[in-house]
Structure 1
Amino acid sequence: MPPQNNSRNTIIFIVIASIMLLAYSFFVMEPQTQKRREAQQAAAEQASAPVTAPSPSAAVFTEDRTVALGANGARVPIETATLKGSLTLTGGRIDDLFLTNYRETIDADSPAVELFRPEGMEHAFFAQFGWSGPNIPGGVPGPNTPWRLTEGATLTPTTPVVLTWDNGAGLRFTRRISIDELYMFTVTDTVANFSAQPVTLTPAATVMRQGVPPTLGRNQVLHEGAIGTFGDGESYSTTQLKYGGWGKKKAPEEHESTGGWLGITDKYWMAALIPDQDERIEAEFRVSGPGEPADKVHLAGMLGEAHTIQPNTQITETRRLFAGAKRAEILTGYQDSLDLPRFIYAIDWGFLWFLTRPIFIVVEFFYGILGNFGLAILALTLTVRLIMFPLANKSYESMSKMRNLQPKMEEIKKKHPDEPQKQQQELMALYQKEKINPLAGCLPLLLQIPVFYAVYKMLFVTIEMRHQPFFGWIQDLSAPDPTTIWNLFGLIPWDPSSAPLIGGLLGGTFALSVLAIFYGLTMWLQMSMSPQAPDPMQRRIFQLMPIVFTFIMATFPAGLLIYWAWSNILTIFQQYIIMHRLKAANPIDDFFARMKKAKA
């Protein structure tokens, strides 16, 4: 490829990448400035049966959790080392749950993360188990069934609870609920038939969210919404429906599967229904109700295999509910112990999962040695650089030789000022004589782009990175650097994002932080060591690139800036050694020469 075309294509690539990153920063990463200003006008809905269409309920919500909990009937407390909450005896619904190991913010007094929320509050979120069957005398347990607590007082890992309900027509339902030390509920339902006629029942379960909080489903890089893994017992695939697209079709999305799992996931948390892995199920993802899409009821439900219960006999059905944090080793543990297909893919590893997961494993390995995820990211960067070292070495040698050839290249241009084709021919001859490949300098950069994205994805979606400190003011590697030039990096007690009209920009795209500025300086120095573009306009564009990317990268997680700045430093070090050895002019040697001359 002729050098002019190569330079032009490189500039086009960088400009397009810059435009994409700026658009992403402005439209995705910016804080949402529009908040819904009115309460939900449409009715939220509750299920009349676990997998049937919800029916409207009151649209006036309470902000007092105690009031909502009391309105849902008598309760059974839930207490484990990782969970705290309660379940209601009205409907046997698990609807009040906090993750005690996780806080909303990094503040020490921040409240625990809420997972489930009772009906009656805005954006209620809960799980329910039951049965369905046509023409059952006395009915089956539903959302308003008054269960009785017949065994146990508090649900803990060592004390399960037992609920019972008699439908008055010969059917007795007994529900045993247990929980492990982490996030797995086991619901064992026994149905005894004391009537004179056989009955046919189908086990059912749902996870339901009555309206989507405005903070969810806004990021296009991340999946939040419906998720499930379905298959035929041999091959399984994972289905995802983002909140924005979930429900666009009027008909529910249905799947048949042997085993598998399904539920509703947020960035770090998930509620998932898990049948027996040998059972044939019918699963559906449904959105229903009036109003805006975000105000509708979002439901993930499943029906198991129908059971015919003969008189004076009983059947037992076991289902599980995962309700907790999507921590990799926990998901892997359940995947192995329960033989759950692809449960680790509840984490949104992205389309580069084959890079994201190994990078995460490497980071966790270094964390086990170093005890700090920031240091683990530095070690990961060094590992990546070592893997690319041979290729990068050849690339930097080629770039250093290109830099040495620039005077000759300028002579060729002056020699044939009006003959571009002649210039290209002589330049290609010069490259062949010096054994230089003009494209070699771009290859390491192109190879690092997918690694860069995979690191970003890993930092963004894995809960292991959440609220993890580095050193000094960096207390959350998964969040942007909190410092900003607009309040002199914290010296002025003022939040720039609160400024009228421009707060979103000052707190987002233009929030120049210490890490962003340091990253920009490393990028500027690295580009200064590369061969100069022959065209003045091209040189100007390359000179502006560090400034543009400094603003863009300011909105990215601090861990990613640490990775990229450290990678730049390693690149500069490697490139300097090669340039110094080949006696190529470089800004570092020029700086020291000027310093030496000034002292003299």
Structure 2
Amino acid sequence: MESQRNLLLIGLLLVSFFLWQQWSVEQNPQPAQTASVEQQSGIDSASSDVPMADSSIADTQTVSKEIITVVTDQFELHIDPTGGDIVYAALLTHKQELDGEDPFVLLEQTDGFTYTAQSGLIGRDGIDSSVNGRAVFASEKTQYQLVDGQDTLDVDLTYQAANGASYIKRFSLTRGQHDIKVSYIINNTTDKSLQMQMYGQLKQSISSESKNLMMPTYRGSAFSTTDTRYEKYTFEDMAKANLDKQTLGGWVAMLQHYFVSAWVPPANEQNKLFTSVVSGGLSNIGYRGSLVDVAPNSQATISADLFIGPKDQKALSALSETLNLTVDYGFLWWLAVPINKVLMFFQSIVINWGLAIILVTLTVRGLLYPLTKAQYTSMAKMRQLQPKLQELKERYGEDRQKMGQVMMELYKKEKVNPMGGCFPILLQMPIFIALYWVLLESVDLRHAEFLWLEDLSVMDPYFIMPALMGISMYVMQKLQPTPATMDPMQQKMMQWMPMIFVVFFIWFPAGLVLYWLVGNLVAIAQQLIIYRGLEKKGLK
């Protein structure tokens, strides 16, 4: 098969892949909300935020309900005293917009959108109830800050129950980290045993987002159990049926492009993972921990980890061995993982993501060089056979079966593999797709600059990179003689192929186009070297 036809094959494969990908990406429709959904979810309309539990002593106290602000080197958090929920989280080391100064906001609660991290104590003696509402906490201050020279910060909220028991809800933050330890310190000063369980859930407005064909990123929830290492659970899934999984350890998360929030309960405890859809177009995914008995006149601590931040595989793996799977590389993850490691290695040396991509390209092309050489050698042999093939076509053109037999005999006699030119091209396709997902999911490339490009993770705004890529494809075509047997229609398609690819690649992340451009330039150099060698052997 000639290289000209291989280019057409690549185009068809790419188009097919992205059409299949777009079709398979889960949509996020707004499901109709009904009372039956709320009842099935185990949520009472009196307080649809709290999972259903036994009756509780949700006493209240008169305290200020002013929002509590916490600032570290990584976060600006807003904590609502009612329930002690995190209702706002800005990531200070990530910008909202490339040229802006505002930090990226992951959690927020506005008139039109809600995305918060909620936690509480439910059960027989819990302080949060689906009937009586949430506990209202008090705090010494409304402003907390991790100052220079301080590595950790504890933010304590207190609650005094009517029966005399006291509670501290503690948020423990560490410099340089995006995980927060959320703990309940229960001081049972009564003469009766108290029974309760901690829950954590992520609450988000259900939205229907437009999908970019070339960047179909997922927004929705996911979970992990001992039986299921990683599984997405879309907003549509929630509307159809509630998640109900019992597991040792596990985690629940809300995902979006580059960023994730996740509740990670203790790995050695039994937890129940659940979802619910409540009135107002809100979806919840969360966990309920094991029941804890606090003996009279004793103290107990219940805790879980909350991650709010970028999809940093190292940080995510530190919390759970499977949480890094939220960096979703698709079905070629087994190939994407080593590519990502190589990319990270080169970046640590050159300290530039564009140069790192170029080095990855050179590495891939270098490893594939023996196959590339075999490809061009096979193409040269096929071109030499063109006169004989044309003669066979004229002789047996009407008898396709006989034509196929004599062609295979000729290939066997001349020791030519007609598919030899296809294999290297097909081998490059999974590498290309795997790298596509690496670049799409690597938060490090977000707002990464290279030459005139201000962000390698999005399309080139000036279309320079796709244009250069098209020119390189045109040069590659000129280096490859057009087979005499190619019909005029195929010739026309080949002539237009560079322009078709330019239009197609306009929407690709600039980093991926850079990979393809450099690959073409290397291929041109390899072609010139290989063809000169073949000329000396009389094969070209």
Same fold (TM over 0.5): yes
Deviation per residue, 1:71-104 (Å, 9 max, x gap): x931222111111132122221111211111112
Quote the Cα distance in structure 2 between the aligned partners of 1:55 and 1:8.
67
Quote the Cα distance in structure 1 between the aligned partners of 2:315 and 2:322.
13
The 1:117–1:7 alpha-carbon spacing in structure 2 relative to 1, beyond 3 Å, is closer
Residues 1:298 and 2:277 aligned together = no
What residue is the counterpart of 1:507 in the other structure?
A: none
Equivalent of 1:368 in 348, 363, 367: 348
* Matched AA of 2:450: F
Secondary structure at the residue paired with 1:552?
helix
Equivalent of 2:238 in 222, 247, 258: 247
Quote the Cα distance in structure 2 between the aligned partners of 1:280 and 1:96.
29
| Cα pair 2:33 2:278 within 8 Å, conserved | no
What residue is the counterpart of 2:178 in the other structure?
A: 183
Secondary structure at the residue paired with 1:319?
strand
* Matched AA of 2:135: T
- Percent of aligned pairs with the same amino acid: 27
Q: Structure 1: 5+ residue runs without aligned partners?
A: 58-71, 291-295, 484-512, 590-600
Equivalent of 1:105 in 87, 97, 112: 97
* Matched AA of 2:191: A
Alignment of 1:442-591 (within 5 A): 442-472=422-452, 474-483=453-462, 513-528=463-478, 529=480, 532=483, 534-536=485-487, 537-583=489-535
Quote the Cα distance in structure 1 between the aligned partners of 2:215 and 2:152.
42
Residues 1:317 and 2:302 aligned together = yes
| Cα pair 1:532 1:539 within 8 Å, conserved | no
Quote the Cα distance in structure 2 between the aligned partners of 1:7 and 1:390.
16
Q: CA deviation at 1:283?
A: 1.0
What residue is the counterpart of 1:388 in the other structure?
A: 368
Moved more, 463-472 or 568-577: 568-577
Matched positions, count: 512
Q: Structure 2: 5+ residue runs without aligned partners?
A: 49-63
Quote the Cα distance in structure 2 between the aligned partners of 1:28 and 1:139.
39
| Cα pair 1:403 1:584 within 8 Å, conserved | no
What residue is the counterpart of 1:402 in the other structure?
A: 382
- Tell which has more relative contact order, 1 or 2 (C-alpha 8 A, sep 6+): 2
What residue is the counterpart of 2:293 in the other structure?
A: 308
What residue is the counterpart of 2:189 in the other structure?
A: 194
| Cα pair 1:152 1:161 within 8 Å, conserved | no
Q: CA deviation at 1:194?
A: 2.9
Q: CA deviation at 1:165?
A: 0.9
Q: CA deviation at 1:125?
A: 1.3
The 1:216–1:551 alpha-carbon spacing in structure 2 relative to 1, beyond 3 Å, is closer
| Cα pair 2:224 2:250 within 8 Å, conserved | yes
Deviation per residue, 1:337-378 (Å, 9 max, x gap): xxx221211211211111111111111111111121111111
Equivalent of 1:286 in 276, 279, 298: 276
* Matched AA of 1:470: F
| Cα pair 1:192 1:313 within 8 Å, conserved | yes
* Matched AA of 1:265: L
* Matched AA of 2:457: S
Secondary structure at the residue paired with 2:328?
coil
TM-score (norm 2): 0.84
Alignment of 1:118-197 (within 5 A): 118=109, 120-134=110-124, 144-150=134-140, 153-156=143-146, 157-181=151-175, 182-197=177-192
Q: CA deviation at 1:412?
A: 4.2
The 1:417–1:195 alpha-carbon spacing in structure 2 relative to 1, beyond 3 Å, is closer
Q: CA deviation at 1:461?
A: 1.1
Quote the Cα distance in structure 1 between the aligned partners of 2:32 and 2:409.
74
The 1:139–1:171 alpha-carbon spacing in structure 2 relative to 1, beyond 3 Å, is farther
Secondary structure at the residue paired with 1:440?
coil
What residue is the counterpart of 2:51 in the other structure?
A: none
Quote the Cα distance in structure 2 between the aligned partners of 1:584 and 1:554.
40
| Cα pair 1:398 1:438 within 8 Å, conserved | yes
TM-score (norm 1): 0.76
* Matched AA of 1:521: I
Deviation per residue, 1:195-228 (Å, 9 max, x gap): 3332321111111113437468998843321122
The 1:135–1:158 alpha-carbon spacing in structure 2 relative to 1, beyond 3 Å, is closer
The 1:41–1:23 alpha-carbon spacing in structure 2 relative to 1, beyond 3 Å, is closer
The 1:133–1:16 alpha-carbon spacing in structure 2 relative to 1, beyond 3 Å, is same
Secondary structure at the residue paired with 1:583?
helix
| Cα pair 1:201 1:307 within 8 Å, conserved | yes
Q: CA deviation at 1:170?
A: 3.0
Q: CA deviation at 1:393?
A: 1.2
| Cα pair 1:261 1:274 within 8 Å, conserved | yes
Quote the Cα distance in structure 2 between the aligned partners of 1:399 and 1:204.
64
Q: CA deviation at 1:420?
A: 4.8
Deviation per residue, 1:542-599 (Å, 9 max, x gap): 333333222111111111111112112212221222222222999xx9xxxxxxxxxx
Equivalent of 2:203 in 205, 208, 220: 208
Quote the Cα distance in structure 2 between the aligned partners of 1:209 and 1:298.
5
Moved more, 153-162 or 176-185: 153-162
| Cα pair 1:404 1:585 within 8 Å, conserved | no
* Matched AA of 1:350: G
The 1:221–1:357 alpha-carbon spacing in structure 2 relative to 1, beyond 3 Å, is farther
Q: Tell me the C-alpha RMSD between the 2 structures.
A: 3.8
